[in-house]
Structure 1
Amino acid sequence: MQGLWYKQVEQGRRFILKISPGESLRQRLVEFAKEVRLDHAVVVSAVGSVQDLTFRGIKAGAKLPVTPPRMHVHELAGPLELLALTGNLLPDERGEIDCHLHVIASRSSGDVLGGHLFDAKVFATCEVVLSEIHAEGVERHLSRTGGIPTVFITDDEPAP
């Protein structure tokens, strides 16, 4: 199907993680994945609170490829409520776990912010649910078109 790539995947193990205050959210997810040999997973849910949140948004009117001048990086000291975390963990071209995560967080005023998560430190707690997927031939590669790492799916199965 032109303009769309897909691969059917099967569900595997499921995990609930509680990450302690002061820990790097991204680093803990990668370390956990390595420890339990989790190379393909999706974030089902995450709640808690964070501080030292760094995320990006793509500037209005930006064109492809996405490059640093076309992004706006936000750094917030917090603490903030972690309202949602979504994304996936996939191996990159070197076989290392790469987290592609998006975050939604709120200030005490109720203002909500979000974007592509670079990292955050856990403030009081962070509870994350991960679901493993069995997905041979699915990795993250740098996209020449988009300018950012994206899902790469090998085409080793005939089209239906």
Structure 2
Amino acid sequence: MKLFAIRLKPNEDLRQSLKNFAIQQSIQAGFILSAIGSLQQANIRFANQENSTVLNEKFEILSLQGTIANTGVHLHIAIADREGKTIGGHLDNGCIIYTTAEIVIGTTEKFSFKRIFDEQTGYQELEIEV
């Protein structure tokens, strides 16, 4: 396993930055090991919803999970508001860093992750090549 540690800075887009990082580093099969930080805006698609919801307030990033590759990313996030209420869902573009995001990414060369359109789900779904 190869490890990457990155820090995103204020006003960077969380999802887009991770996608760009995967492309720049030619990551074929990566996964989030750890992620904390804060957002000044969240854009999350909640379960069984077609569209994402933009939330304009400050949030703590509690968790970020999923796969990352130069062919696409699929990430879920859990965040907490100023009262500690937690919400989460599918990470979309438009999650803007407030102060920082500290992220550790693991990769493997045993697999290659691709995103293929699945007619049954209507989404780009993971295809694992060995």
TM-score by length of 2: 0.89
Q: How far 1:136 moved relative to its partner? A: 4.2
Match of residue 89 from structure 1: 68
Distance 1:48 1:152 in 2: 30
Corresponding residue SS for 1:23:
coil
* Bigger strand fraction: 2
2:106 counterpart letter in structure 1: S
Partner residue of 2:86 out of 112, 120, 123? 112
* Structure 1 segments of 4+ aligned residues over 6 angstroms from their partners: none
Q: How far 1:39 moved relative to its partner? A: 2.4
Residue 130 (str. 1) matches residue 76 (str. 2): no
TM-score by length of 1: 0.73
**Structure 2 segments unaligned to the other structure (5+ residues):** none
Aligned residues: percent identity? Answer: 26
1:39 counterpart letter in structure 2: Q
Q: How far 1:40 moved relative to its partner? A: 1.6
Q: Which has the larger radius of gyration?
A: 1
Residue 45 (str. 1) matches residue 45 (str. 2): no
Which deviates more, 127-136 or 13-22?
127-136
Match of residue 94 from structure 1: none
**Structure 1 segments unaligned to the other structure (5+ residues):** 1-10, 60-69, 92-96
Residue 153 (str. 1) matches residue 128 (str. 2): yes
Classify 1:16/1:137 alpha carbon distance in 2 versus 1 (closer, same or farther; 3 Å). closer
Classify 1:33/1:73 alpha carbon distance in 2 versus 1 (closer, same or farther; 3 Å). closer
8 Å CA contact 1:56–1:115 kept in 2: the answer is yes
Q: How far 1:55 moved relative to its partner? A: 0.8
8 Å CA contact 2:115–2:124 kept in 1: the answer is yes
